[in-house]
Amino acid sequence: MRGWMFAGLRRNPGPAVGTLVAAATAAAIAVAGIGVAASSTPSSLGRLAGADVVVAASTQLRVTVGRGDDAQQESVPLPAYAGVPAVLAGQLARVPGVASATGESGFPGGIVRPGMVDLIAVVADRGTSTATLAARIKAELPSDPKQGGTGYTVATGAARGGVADLNNAVESANGHAFGIAVIPVLITTALFALAATTALSVSLRRRRFALLRAVGATRGQIRRAVLAEQALIAVAGGLIGSLPGIALGAMAVRAFVAHGLFPAGTTALSGPWDAGVACGVTLPICLLSGLVAAHRAARTSPARAVKGTHTERTWPSPVRVLLGLAAAAGMVTLDVLALHQNGPGALVALALPSLLCGMAAVALLGPVLVAVVAMAARPLAAAGPSARLALAGIRRMPARTGSAVVAVALAVGLIGAVAFSNTSVAHATVVQSTQTVTADHVLSGGGLTPATLPPSMLTGVERLPGVRAAVGVAPLSIGVTDSDLEFINGEAVSAGPVSDVLNLNVTAGQLSELGPGQIAVSTMEASNGLGAHLGQQVTVYLPDGTPYRATVSALYQRSLAVGDLLIPAAVAAGHTGTPDEYSQILVRGGTQRELAALAAAHPGTQVADRAVYNSEVASNAQQNSFANLVILGIITVLTAVTMINTLVVSTVERRRQVRLLGRVGATRGQLAAGFCWQALFVSVVGVAAGATVCVGTLIGLTRAVTGSSVPFIPAGPALLVVGAVAALAFAATLTPFAVISREKFRQPVSA
Amino acid sequence: MSVVTQMIQVPVVLDGVSKRFGRGRGAVAALDRVSLAFPSGSFTAVLGVSGSGKSTLLQCAAGLEQPTAGSVRLCGAELKRLSDRQRTLLRRRHVGFVFQELNLVPELTTEENIALPLRLGRQRVQRAAIENAAARVGLRPGQLRRLPSELSGGQQQRAAIARALVTGPEVIFADEPTGALDPHTADGVMRLLREAAAGTTVVIVTHQPEVTRFCDRAVFLYAGRVEGIVDRPDPVDVAARLHALGARAAQGDFATIGAA
């Protein structure tokens, strides 16, 4: 019965192809993202393969977050073993059905305390089931393993793998968090991309909708027809995109493993349900993005069916302009209100609302922008007939050129915002660290593990003549409840005058000494996360889950180099899962020669003066994090697809004009020049609009993360983005022109 | 005669209808206080030179555009009191359209195009009814499965007439239905329209004098105003009158509000 709804798709799928491509791309990325988010790592049991039951102190940190009605228990995987007393092995060996119980140590994240072991591997007697044994062991375990402990983890079967390597659990959690963080980015970008292509495919069929309206189609029927078409495209796109998506997800997981974001052996989740998942993602996106287009199609005046040609309104409706201005104002407001955030994907999560507003503003104000610029560019018409023709076309049909401009702005804005938020943060890190380190010399540990300078070396450095101060530092994860329970970056610092070697820009309290019972907190973490002030008591959690209750003794501003929390190394010792060594020793006074001589006793130790050390920090910071590159890749693909779609369609749409001009005597060169002017206009206006949104977003972002309002945009990559977008704009305009201009004299002049 | 029966017997009534496009100095009055009645079963041509407002008259009379001032009664309903949806349903049930060209949805076959108003109204479409409508305009069953691009211009206009007739409308509006056809084909299409639409009120907008040969009445428009009405028009007289109006227009006394 509804033949008239889908006949367009069946017999003339051209206008819908762009939407289909965008939907399929979105589906592929969604399937890949879900595959990554739900990836699994087979447990590599290693030494524990022979054990039936594994007993360890709880490998999860469980804390009640919030107060009153909002209170809820949250848990995160611990980066280090809390350890169990070695004597517990003997106790468990006496449980009926146990053949042997052995204390085992030396796992990644293992403890380094005498009398303690990482875990106990229990082998069952023949004839005793593991479930029965696990229940007996649970009953036997003391209710409280040690002071402040949170219980035991008793693992059997596949769960033993999670206990065998704590890094796996932490890495998996990070990887999953990343996969989940990608999804909102994808959905937002896909919404914009699909909205652009759908709007275009609807505007191409304006006359058809007018005809349907004239012969009696109600607005509701037109709206439903457009949405039904969108639904069909969503399902088709989902089916087409799911297979490449599975491959993409597997590739992404492999790449993540290679970059240490996932434990080795991790595989992406995939299965026959992926096609359903893909449709489940594309369907709401397609329908949502089609709403505006469907509304516009339904509003088509039936009188348009009578007129053979029509001109667009030069100025869009005041409602649209007001909405656009409101979106622009929203972006500025978000910039001002931007909050500090931590955690994986938070940079993008923070930038997203601001970017959204900016993009919405560009999308709504696009035609106005085009009309204004076209007016200002009128003198360019003197460049020749091609320029005159192109400019006239742009001025009279601002909405058509506007959709192309929006596609270019989308690409520049989104790609730029992601790429240069990374560079801005990296740059700020370098700048801060050069301001932060005031030590004359820095000793760094070599090798693979970060902390390799033993405390004896610090003592040795302190005894050297001429050394006025020496402080050892080691990075560590510290659990905090800053609204959510999470581990954030901080450092353990040795007893010593910290302020003599690090200028952290202390705003309250003092850092000349950080003793047990004290903690130094960055001003950002203090104001946004912990909500702590000087002298307040706070509770944080060491890597093995041990709570550390401390008084805030200093607040400092420069947190990019050292993290957001500083605690005394003496407190962290034994709770980090690593030997109690330092990654760096910062020295005031002394000579390079004497320090080098001392370091020679410990192979791999490097001695650098402040300048050399800072340049090393700079080169490390420039390396883009892999996760951000992945997000950048996704955005690039989606925006490029949108841009190509839009430009190709809007060029092909002008086929009739090309034929007409060809007949009245325009040479192919003149026509090509006209399209070049068009592409130039679209590139320049689109890049300018996109760059404005990008910079606007970056100002808020860098201020939130680094405290500075000046984003760092390196010229090379910026030119690369602009150049690539412009090149794509020209290619996507001129390639279809080449095709249609070749056929111009063979085809009749008709619509 | 009661008011109601009078309205039904005159399905199209325009009363003081004005239509302006644009605002301020650039505003153009396409229609200026036009009052006209098209009685039931009448076959009227609305003539005028380019820009005289004849297409606007058709759009306003058919409810495709809303007049700036005045009232239009179509099939007994005051159009400005109807919602967009009500106007659409009125069009679907009681009005047929034939345009100059691009009448047919290019992705639908001839048959589907003819059945379109029925399908939009969720009515059961009987093949026989479609074939019957097609036969009345001289389309062969074999042509029904073709796409519009596979038909000649004359065949396309016949399909458009069949579509306009398929719901059994009270009124048919035709905007330059023969404008894109050669004289011989145009003659055939007009004859067909006249025969097939017998009993239906037909309003044709045209600038072709020959069309009036099939009409009961000719209405002349000039600069948005009714310039004259002729019963049983003679194409030669109509041509002469159109030439005279064209000459006046060439002297440039078209009214532009703001310029005056």
- ipTM of this model? 0.79
What spatial distance separates the first Cα and last Cα of chain A, rounded to whole Å? 28
Contact criterion met (CB below 8 Å) for A540 and A478: yes
CA distance B169 to A617: 82
Beta carbons of B85 and A212 less than 8 Å apart = no
**Most confident of the following: A65-79, A90-104, A349-363, A457-471:** A457-471
Tokens of B244: 């005279």
Residue A150 has pLDDT above 60, yes or no: no
Which has the higher per-residue pLDDT, A192 or A536?
A536
Mutate to test the interface with A, among B56, B72, B105 (most CBs of A within 10 A): B105
| Rg of the Cα atoms in chain B | 18
Q: Give residue B215's identity as a one-letter amino acid code.
A: C
Q: Residue A106 class from Cβ within 10 Å (0-12 exposed, 13-18 middle, 19+ buried)?
A: exposed
- Total Cβ atoms within 10 A of residue A388: 16
Closest CA to A355 of A399, A415, A401, A405: A415
Residue A451 has pLDDT above 70, yes or no: no
**Most confident of the following: A290-299, A498-507, A654-663, A726-735:** A726-735
Mutate to test the interface with A, among B55, B56, B64 (most CBs of A within 10 A): B64
Q: Is residue A262 in some structural domain?
A: yes
Q: What is the percent of chain A where pLDDT is above 70?
A: 84
Closest CA to A580 of A423, A449, A434: A449
Please state the rounded mean pLDDT for residues B140-164: 86
**Phi, psi at residue A267, to the nearest 5°?**
-125, 150
Beta carbons of A301 and B65 less than 8 Å apart = yes
Closest CA to A430 of A631, A677, A623: A623
Strands (DSSP E) contained in B75-196 are: 77-78, 95-98, 171-175
Which three-class secondary structure state does DSSP give residue B74?
Answer: strand
What region does A404 belong to: left with phi over 0, alpha with psi -120 to 50, or beta?
alpha
Q: Is residue A555 in some structural domain?
A: yes
Please state the rounded mean pLDDT for residues A496-500: 86
Assess B122–A contact: CB distance below 8 Å, yes or no: yes
Q: What is the percent of chain B where pLDDT is above 90?
A: 13
Partner B, chain A 192-221, Cβ-Cβ below 8 Å: 207-208, 211-221
Give the pLDDT score at A203: 75
Q: Are residues A750 and A643 in the same domain?
A: yes
* Residue at which a domain ends, from A544, A574, A604: A604
Tell me the nearest-neighbour CA distance from B54 into chain A, angstroms: 12
CA distance A201 to A224: 15
Beta carbons of A216 and B117 less than 8 Å apart = yes
CA distance A319 to A292: 14
* Residue at which a domain ends, from A280, A309, A338: A309
Q: Are residues A456 and A600 in the same domain?
A: yes
**Phi, psi at residue B68, to the nearest 5°?**
-75, -35
Residue A122 has pLDDT above 60, yes or no: yes
Give the pLDDT score at A624: 53
Tokens of A225: 């027809």
Contact criterion met (CB below 8 Å) for A453 and A585: yes
Assess A746–B contact: CB distance below 8 Å, yes or no: no
Mutate to test the interface with B, among A12, A215, A221 (most CBs of B within 10 A): A215
Give the pLDDT score at B44: 92
User: Looking only at Cα atoms, what is the longest distance across chain B?
Assistant: 58
Mutate to test the interface with A, among B46, B72, B107 (most CBs of A within 10 A): B107
Q: Are residues A492 and A365 in the same domain?
A: no
**Phi, psi at residue A185, to the nearest 5°?**
-60, -45
Q: Is residue A614 in some structural domain?
A: no
Q: List the single residue in A212, A301, A306 with the smallest CB-CB distance to B99.
A: A306
Q: For chain A, what is the mean pLDDT?
A: 80
DSSP string of B26-47?
G-EEEEEEEEEEE-TT-EEEEE
Q: Are residues A30 and A157 in the same domain?
A: no
Assess B127–A contact: CB distance below 8 Å, yes or no: no
Contact criterion met (CB below 8 Å) for A368 and A312: no
Q: Are residues A237 and A324 in the same domain?
A: no
Q: What is the percent of chain A where pLDDT is above 90?
A: 8
Mutate to test the interface with A, among B46, B58, B59, B151 (most CBs of A within 10 A): B59
Give the pLDDT score at A4: 66
Give the pLDDT score at A334: 72
Beta carbons of B59 and A306 less than 8 Å apart = yes
- Total Cβ atoms within 10 A of residue B112: 21
What residues in B contact A218, CB-CB < 8 Å?
Answer: 85, 88-89, 120
Please state the rounded mean pLDDT for residues A70-81: 81
Give the pLDDT score at A687: 94
Please state the rounded mean pLDDT for residues B93-98: 87
Give the helix/strand (H/E) hosting A10.
helix A3-11
Which has the higher per-residue pLDDT, A203 or A651?
A651
Please state the rounded mean pLDDT for residues A292-320: 71
Please state the rounded mean pLDDT for residues A179-199: 73
Beta carbons of A216 and B93 less than 8 Å apart = yes
> Crossing angle, helix A592-599 and helix A455-463, to 10 degrees?
150
Residue A194: band (very low, low, confident or very high) from pLDDT cuts 50, 70, 90: confident
Give the pLDDT score at A587: 92
Tell me the nearest-neighbour CA distance from B99 into chain A, angstroms: 6
Give the pLDDT score at B20: 87
pLDDT in tens, A394-411: 887 777 788 889 889 988
Beta carbons of B92 and A308 less than 8 Å apart = no
Give the pLDDT score at A688: 94
Beta carbons of B92 and A216 less than 8 Å apart = yes
DSSP string of A435-463?
HHB--SEEEE--SSSS--B-HHHHHHHHH
Contact criterion met (CB below 8 Å) for A407 and A196: yes
Nearest CA in chain A to B89: A216
pLDDT in tens, A92-116: 888 888 888 888 877 766 776 777 8
Strands (DSSP E) contained in A125-188 are: 152-156
| Rg of the Cα atoms in chain A | 32
Print the domain residue range for A356.
Answer: 311-435+622-751
**Most confident of the following: A311-325, A650-664, A668-682, B245-259:** A668-682
pLDDT in tens, A454-483: 888 888 888 888 888 899 988 888 988 877
Q: List the single residue in A10, A219, A751 with the smallest CB-CB distance to B102.
A: A751
Please state the rounded mean pLDDT for residues A87-91: 84
- Beta-carbon contacts below 8 Å between A and B: 86
Beta carbons of A214 and B121 less than 8 Å apart = no
Q: Is residue A85 in some structural domain?
A: yes
What residues in A contact B58, CB-CB < 8 Å?
Answer: 306
Nearest CA in chain B to A219: B85
Please state the rounded mean pLDDT for residues B212-229: 90
CA distance B58 to B260: 26
CA distance A2 to A225: 9
Tokens of A283: 């369907």
Q: Are residues A199 and A139 in the same domain?
A: no
- Total Cβ atoms within 10 A of residue A301: 18
Mutate to test the interface with B, among A10, A300, A306 (most CBs of B within 10 A): A306
Partner A, chain B 96-115, Cβ-Cβ below 8 Å: 97, 99-103, 105-108, 112
* Residue at which a domain ends, from A285, A309, A333: A309
Tokens of A31: 């399937």
Which residues are CB-contacts of A268 (< 8 A; sequence separation ≥ 6)? A32, A35, A36, A38, A39, A246, A249, A250, A252, A253
What residues in A contact B55, CB-CB < 8 Å?
Answer: 306-307
What residues in A contact B120, CB-CB < 8 Å?
Answer: 4, 212, 215-218, 221
DSSP string of A222-275?
HHHHHHHHHHHHHHHHHHHHHHHHHHHHHHHHHHHHHTTSS-TT-B----TTHH
Q: Are residues A208 and A103 in the same domain?
A: no
Residue A346: band (very low, low, confident or very high) from pLDDT cuts 50, 70, 90: low
Residue A448: band (very low, low, confident or very high) from pLDDT cuts 50, 70, 90: very low
Q: Are residues A39 and A175 in the same domain?
A: yes
Beta carbons of A216 and B112 less than 8 Å apart = no
Residue B240 has pLDDT above 80, yes or no: yes
Residue A368 has pLDDT above 80, yes or no: yes
CA distance A442 to A445: 10
Give the pLDDT score at A722: 93
Q: Are residues A234 and A189 in the same domain?
A: yes
Closest CA to A303 of B132, B62, B255, B229: B62
Nearest CA in chain A to B60: A303
Residue A308 has pLDDT above 90, yes or no: no
Which residues are CB-contacts of A318 (< 8 A; sequence separation ≥ 6)? none
Residue A648 has pLDDT above 80, yes or no: yes
Give the helix/strand (H/E) hosting A387.
helix A385-396
Assess A12–B contact: CB distance below 8 Å, yes or no: yes
Nearest CA in chain A to B119: A1
Give the pLDDT score at A661: 78
Please state the rounded mean pLDDT for residues A678-705: 87
Q: Are residues A599 and A695 in the same domain?
A: no
Q: Are residues A751 and A655 in the same domain?
A: yes
Which has the higher per-residue pLDDT, B3 or A292?
A292
What residues in A contact B163, CB-CB < 8 Å?
Answer: 215
Q: What is the DSSP letter of A489?
A: E
Beta carbons of A4 and B112 less than 8 Å apart = yes
DSSP string of B162-217?
HHHHTT--SEEEEESTTTTS-HHHHHHHHHHHHHHTTTSEEEEEES-GGGGGG-SE
Contact criterion met (CB below 8 Å) for A410 and A364: no
Beta carbons of A4 and B89 less than 8 Å apart = no
CA distance A292 to A297: 9
* Number of domains chain A is built from: 4
Give the pLDDT score at A351: 65
Give the pLDDT score at A350: 60
Contact criterion met (CB below 8 Å) for A282 and A197: no
Contact criterion met (CB below 8 Å) for B219 and B229: yes
Beta carbons of A216 and B91 less than 8 Å apart = yes
Which residues are CB-contacts of B232 (< 8 A; sequence separation ≥ 6)? B216, B217
pLDDT in tens, A523-571: 877 776 667 788 888 889 998 888 899 999 999 888 877 888 999 998 8
Structural domains in chain B? 3-104+170-250 (3.40.50.300)
Tokens of A497: 């005058």
Assess A223–B contact: CB distance below 8 Å, yes or no: no
Q: Which long-range contacts (CB under 8 A, 24 or more apart) does A9-13 make?
A: A9/A229, A9/A232, A9/A233, A10/B107, A11/B106, A11/B107, A11/B108, A11/B147, A12/B106, A12/B107
Please state the rounded mean pLDDT for residues A46-67: 80
Give the pLDDT score at B7: 47
Residue A480 exposure: Cα atoms within 13 Å on the Cβ side: 26
Q: Is residue A617 in some structural domain?
A: no
Please state the rounded mean pLDDT for residues B41-64: 88
Residue B71 has pLDDT above 50, yes or no: yes
Give the helix/strand (H/E) hosting A124.
strand A119-124
Q: What is the DSSP letter of A125?
A: P
Please state the rounded mean pLDDT for residues B222-246: 88
Q: What is the DSSP letter of B25?
A: G
Give the pLDDT score at A529: 63
Q: Is residue A612 in some structural domain?
A: no
Residue A143: band (very low, low, confident or very high) from pLDDT cuts 50, 70, 90: low
Residue B255 has pLDDT above 90, yes or no: no
Give the pLDDT score at B177: 85
Please state the rounded mean pLDDT for residues B76-92: 88
Q: Are residues A718 and A689 in the same domain?
A: yes
